[in-house]
């Protein structure tokens, strides 16, 4: 399954709640990071890429940098399916919050919030969300339109995502693999 796409065989969206556990002996031995995603492949690729500096919050980013990405074991804690993507995300958020509380990964781990969408209770305007997204994905992307034979350079992954209606995780996969990919009538690559 690719990039939050519905599985055409079952008609269901699939998501996971996952855990990275620090295996390095010392003060942070067995510290965990709990997360959830509707694109497990891409999320794991982000973790395993040495180019990913901002995986999640400050605590887990510091631990990845300090101990190295191979110092952590990966485990799927729950797999959830739903015919509705919004419902799936809601269920993933709830399950993630349950594991964060159960394993106390805020005090004895790398989570910085109770789970779900990060800092709960904060309502951001669409403009602020766009600015945050742009700041995290300021990677220029080149898009070739096979119908018009035009090539355009976009200033960020976020801009391409908004205009072409393609997910950021799909675009991040292009960035990590350094390989052009096709989305509808567009060939997308890093500029």
Check whether domain 13-103 has CATH 2.60.290, yes or no: no
CATH number given to 126-190: 1.10.10.10
The two three-digit tokens of residue 35, written as one number: 């997360």
pLDDT tens profile 92-123:
999 999 999 999 998 889 998 887 655 444 45
Report which of 38, 40, 56 is spatially closest to residue 110, judged by C-alpha positions: 56
Helix intervals (H) in 104-186:
126-136, 157-164, 168-177
Whole-model pTM?
Answer: 0.59
The two three-digit tokens of residue 17, written as one number: 């709640």
Region(s) of the chain under CATH 3.40.1440: 13-103
Separation between Cα atoms, residue 47 and residue 104, nearest integer Å:
22
Q: What percent of the chain has pLDDT over 90?
A: 34
Separation between Cα atoms, residue 25 and residue 179, nearest integer Å:
38
Max CA distance (Å), the chain: 58
């Amino acid at each position: 399954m690719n990039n939050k796409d519905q599985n055409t065989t079952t008609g269901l969206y699939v998501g996971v709640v996952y855990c990275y556990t620090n295996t390095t002996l010392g003060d942070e031995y067995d510290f965990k990071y709990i997360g959830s995603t509707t694109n497990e492949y891409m999320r794991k690729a982000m973790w395993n890429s040495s180019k990913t500096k901002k995986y999640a919050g400050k605590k887990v980013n510091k631990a990845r940098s300090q101990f190295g990405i191979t110092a952590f074991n990966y485990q799927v804690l729950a797999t959830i399916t739903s015919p509705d993507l919004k419902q799936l995300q809601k269920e993933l958020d709830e399950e993630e919050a349950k594991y964060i509380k159960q394993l106390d990964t805020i005090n004895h781990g790398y989570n910085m919030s109770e789970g779900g969408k990060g800092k709960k209770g904060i309502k951001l305007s669409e403009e602020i969300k766009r600015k945050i997204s742009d700041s995290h994905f300021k990677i220029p992307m080149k898009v070739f339109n096979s119908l018009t034979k035009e090539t355009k350079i976009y200033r960020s992954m976020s801009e391409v995502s908004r205009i072409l209606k393609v997910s950021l995780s799909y675009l991040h996969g292009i960035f990590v693999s350094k390989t052009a990919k096709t989305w509808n009538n567009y060939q997308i690559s890093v500029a």
